[in-house]
Every structure is written in C-alpha cells, then in structure tokens.
Amino acid sequence: MNPVAARTSCDLVVVGAGPTGLFATYYAGFRGLSVLLLDAQHEPGGQVTALYPTKAIHDVAGFPAVPGADLVRGLVAQAEAHEPRMVFGAQVVDLVRDERSGTLTLSLADGSQVDARAAVLSTGVGGLRPRTLPVGHGWHGRGVAYTVGDPTDHTDEDVVVIGGGDSALDWALQLQPVARSVTVVHRRRAFRAHAASVARAEKCGVRLLTDCELLAIHGDDSVRSVVLRDRDGSEQELPATTVVGALGLVTAPSPFAAWGLELVDRKLVVDQSMATNIPGVFAAGDATSYPGKVPLMAVGFGEAATAVNNAAVHIDPELSLFPGHSTDEEQGTTMASDPTPLAVEA
C-alpha cells in the first residue's frame, strides 16, 4: 500500500478496488501479469465498504449470507495471492494512449504517473464521499460520523442518526442493542428505508422522529446534544454523544469523456470482450453499460474475468484467451493455452 513512485510501469493497471477491481486483480495475477491496483479511497471494497459493510449479502454465488466486510476481506486475500501492488488514496485523473507504442499513461491526482500495456477501469459509480450534515461543520471526529463501523464503539451512548434511507435504519438497528438510546431523525413524513426495517426499529425501541430536522449541534470538546425542529416549528433538545449522518453518498464520476472514452448515461460503453473504444482499455462492473446490463456484483465478477483475459491477449497476442482452470494453478499451468478437453460420450 505504498504510494506510487513518481513514474512506474506494469502490464495491467486496475482502476478501482471495489469488488470488481479486486477480483480483476486476482485474475490478472492468475494470468501472470504484473498488476497495479489503484483506488481513490483509503480502503478497499468500493460501495460495499462505504455503504453496507455489516449487512449480509445473499446473492454472491456460494455464500448464502456473507457480511459485506467479510466479502471484501476475502476478495483482498484472493487478490493478494499473486502479490499485486495495491495503492490506496490514489485518484486517477487522466488516461492517455500513445498511438505509436500503444502504451497507456495514467496520471494520478498527486502528479505521479503509471505506464501500462492495458487497463481495466472498474470505477463503479465513481469516487464516493458521504453527503455531509449542513450543521456538522467542525464536529467531524468530535462526535459526528458518517459511517458506523463497530457498533460496540457506541456502547452506552446516546446516538442520533440523521436520515431516512436504508443506511440510517440499518445503523440504528445495529446500534440499538448496545447504545443507551438511538433516535432516527428524518425530515420527511415517510422513510425511504425498507418498511420491514422501519417496523423492526419501532418494535425494538428505536425512537423514530419524522417531519423533523437537525437544527444545531451543541457540545464542547465533543458533541453533547442536538437541537431538532418539527414541521410546526417547535424545537427540542436531545442528549447526544454521537450524531451519525446518513444522508447518502455524493459520487464524483471520473472525467471519462475527456479521456476520449465512449459513454452512455455516464457509463462506459463496452463490447462483448469488455473492451472500450480505446485499444487496451477494458472496463467491468458498475462502471459499464450495454444492453441488458444488470449492476450486481455477480455480474461484475464475470465481467472482470472477461476483461482481464482479453487484456492478457491484448498485451501478448500469443496467449490463449482461456486462462486455464484455477484448479490447475498448483501444477503451474495458469497460462494454459490448451485446456484439457472434457471427454464427450458418443
């Protein structure tokens, strides 16, 4: 996780360490490529880490229910099998292809550059940051937070969650067993969150305040209370140790159009090999669009395998598109050009 040197090179650069990019990194290592994985965030996992690390995911093949953070841990361990370079806090701001050599040069926000023979863009919905609380300025790290990591960090606290979506209700439900009190404040009459979550929260003692907004945060070194205002204008002050902003995320799409990439609805247009319109630049996961596209992790994993194997052939046309079976890996046949055929009964 070292910073990128002022200029470095690799066979394949993967941009975005969400589920898709992590799996692409595994596949690139499996194919014997030198790979560099870059992400603007400071930790891997993309939307899973940012939005639902503790929620159980039920539609990843082979895992009936896997918490988001566990899935990301597994993807990182799998990606690390072939010792890729992974650099976080590395935002890619430009991509240029040299027409003569075909080399791709990616520029990072800190001014460093990466030369690669191919790239997989797995940038998902773009850069992610939480929508901040209008009155939260100056309180971050002193009681205002925008995610809930380990709920037991809030044992015996008075927690006020601001927001009406799934994250707000999920976090409230996780905090309720350990916190002294949990209050969800939503400025509209109806929650956007799943009705079952709202019903569970009501049942287990989470206080739900609708038509209500956060007016002010009071405290000294840390948050002590919040002032709330009802729709009719009446105000109340509640004790609060932690205020969790759950107002959703602001996404910052990469400037793909300026890089010369073809887009539809701000997504990258790809063909069946996950190639974009720039030779050597492939894409996978939520960043891509094609007729019938379903933006789910299961789909992104398949696209990552397709993108990386096609990138491998782009890098070395002598290589087979089929990577060989991973079950053969210990026998050193990861670059198989002639997979063992299955016998077919006549």
Ligand X SMILES: Cc1cc2nc3c(=O)[nH]c(=O)nc-3n(C[C@H](O)[C@H](O)[C@H](O)COP(=O)(O)OP(=O)(O)OC[C@H]3O[C@@H](n4cnc5c(N)ncnc54)[C@H](O)[C@@H]3O)c2cc1C
Annotated binding site: 20, 39, 47, 52, 92, 128, 286, 327
Residue 5 sits in the site that holds ligand X (CB under 6 A): no
Q: Give every CB contact of residue 251 below 8 A, 6+ residues apart in sequence.
A: 125, 126, 127, 128
Region of 74-82, 231-239, 292-300, 331-339 interacting with ligand X (CB under 6 A): 292-300
Q: How far is the CB of 9 from ligand X (least distance, A)?
A: 18
Q: How far is the CB of 129 from ligand X (least distance, A)?
A: 9
Q: Tell me the site size for ligand X, rule CB under 6 A.
A: 37
Residue 4 sits in the site that holds ligand X (CB under 6 A): no
Among 199, 264, 298, 321, binds ligand X (CB under 6 A): 298
- CB of 13 or CB of 315, closer to ligand X: 13
Residue 114 sits in the site that holds ligand X (CB under 6 A): no
Q: How far is the CB of 46 from ligand X (least distance, A)?
A: 2
Residue 254 sits in the site that holds ligand X (CB under 6 A): yes
Residue 21 sits in the site that holds ligand X (CB under 6 A): yes
Q: Give every CB contact of residue 304 below 8 A, 6+ residues apart in sequence.
A: 20, 21, 23, 24, 27, 120, 122, 284, 285
Tokens found for residue 40: 């603007």
From residue 69 to residue 108, the character string flagging contacts with ligand X as x (rule: CB under 6 A) and all else as - is ----------------------xx----------------
Among 226, 286, 311, 314, binds ligand X (CB under 6 A): 286
299 backbone dihedrals φ, ψ, rounded to 5°: -70, -45
Residue 66 sits in the site that holds ligand X (CB under 6 A): no
Picking from 42, 40, 72, 51, the residue whose alpha carbon sits closest to that of residue 147 is: 51
Region of 73-81, 116-124, 215-223, 329-337 interacting with ligand X (CB under 6 A): 116-124
Residue 126 sits in the site that holds ligand X (CB under 6 A): yes
Q: How far is the CB of 343 from ligand X (least distance, A)?
A: 36
Residue 148 sits in the site that holds ligand X (CB under 6 A): no
Residue type (1 letter), 82: H
Q: How far is the CB of 230 from ligand X (least distance, A)?
A: 29
Residue 39 sits in the site that holds ligand X (CB under 6 A): yes
Residue 125 sits in the site that holds ligand X (CB under 6 A): yes
Q: Give every CB contact of residue 210 below 8 A, 6+ residues apart in sequence.
A: 164, 186, 188, 189, 190, 191
Among 3, 59, 195, 237, binds ligand X (CB under 6 A): 59
Annotated binding site for FAD: 20, 39, 47, 52, 92, 128, 286, 327
Q: How far is the CB of 93 from ligand X (least distance, A)?
A: 7
Residue 46 sits in the site that holds ligand X (CB under 6 A): yes
Among 29, 124, 143, 280, binds ligand X (CB under 6 A): 124
The residues binding ligand X (CB under 6 A) are: 15-21, 38-41, 46-48, 51-52, 57, 59, 91-92, 122-128, 166, 254, 285-287, 295-298, 300
